[in-house]
Structure 1
Amino acid sequence: MKKAATLPKEQLMDGIASFLKALADPTRLRILHALQGGERCVNDLLAELPCSQANVSKHLALLRAAGIVEFRRQGVQIYYRIADPAVFAICGVVCGALERSLDGRREGLKMGKTAFAAGARA
């Protein structure tokens, strides 16, 4: 019984991990950044990204499978857009945490440098 009760939580954790894993790639983050300005076709994205068409298409398929992007067909073109703009809030939180972490590291480096300088004078 207890194992069955934890199954939904495990599925939720797996879903969160899959979603975050889809975001954990610089090319996919660049694609999201490009799509922040509105929907784009693969050719539009190729003009903005240093990638091959096959590479961009592969990353778009992964983002689509994760539910992060959606698409629509118009003739032979496929246009991609963000499925839920909340993904940008997630990216913003990560950017803020990274900035604070880097600030802390810089402060730690300054303190370490000061400590070494004080030791050299002693």
Structure 2
Amino acid sequence: MGGRMMGPMTDPRSRFFMALASDQRLRILDLLKNGEKNSQEIINELLLDPSVVSRHMMMLRNVGLVEAHKQGVTMYFKIADARIFELIETATDITRDWLNKFRDFF
């Protein structure tokens, strides 16, 4: 069965939301909210291994959330579409409301 519980993801929205399903990738997006950063700035700020940052950036780029360009040997990253922050804020509001309801229940 290939280790998968479900079939392949054919809906691009699944990959999009999967890219958001990581604390580290959400932190990267939050960091880029303040403007373009190079890979070393991201590594230093988030205290992550360069290979981890590279994998996260590739996933964010593959779903169109982040753009990159190279200057010399340094990669620079920026948000490709600022609407992502509206989506994250909506998710934050929904989560906060759900947690408050859950807290009130007990």
TM band (smaller chain)? 0.7 to 0.9
Question: Which of the pair has more CA radius of gyration?
Answer: 1
CA shift, 1:27, in A, is: 0.8
In 1, the alpha carbon distance for the partners of 2:96 and 2:20 equals 18
Equivalenced residue count is 97
Alignment of 1:55-74 (within 5 A): 55-74=52-71
Give the TM-score normalised by the residue count of structure 1.
Answer: 0.76
CA shift, 1:52, in A, is: 0.3
**Structure 1 residue ranges (4+ consecutive) displaced by more than 3 angstroms after TM superposition:** none
CA shift, 1:42, in A, is: 0.8
Structure 1 unaligned blocks of 5 or more: 1-10, 110-122
Give the TM-score normalised by the residue count of structure 2.
Answer: 0.88
Residue type at the aligned position of 2:15 = S
User: What secondary structure, in the 3-state scheme, does the structure 1 residue paired with 2:67 have?
Assistant: strand
CA shift, 1:50, in A, is: 2.6
Please say if 1:95 is aligned against 2:82.
no
In 2, the alpha carbon distance for the partners of 1:71 and 1:50 equals 20
Tell me the C-alpha RMSD between the 2 structures.
Answer: 1.0
1:23 is aligned to 20
Identify the structure with bigger relative contact order (alpha carbons < 8 Å, sequence gap 6+).
2
Structure 2 unaligned blocks of 5 or more: 1-9
CA shift, 1:65, in A, is: 0.8
Identity of aligned residues (%): 34
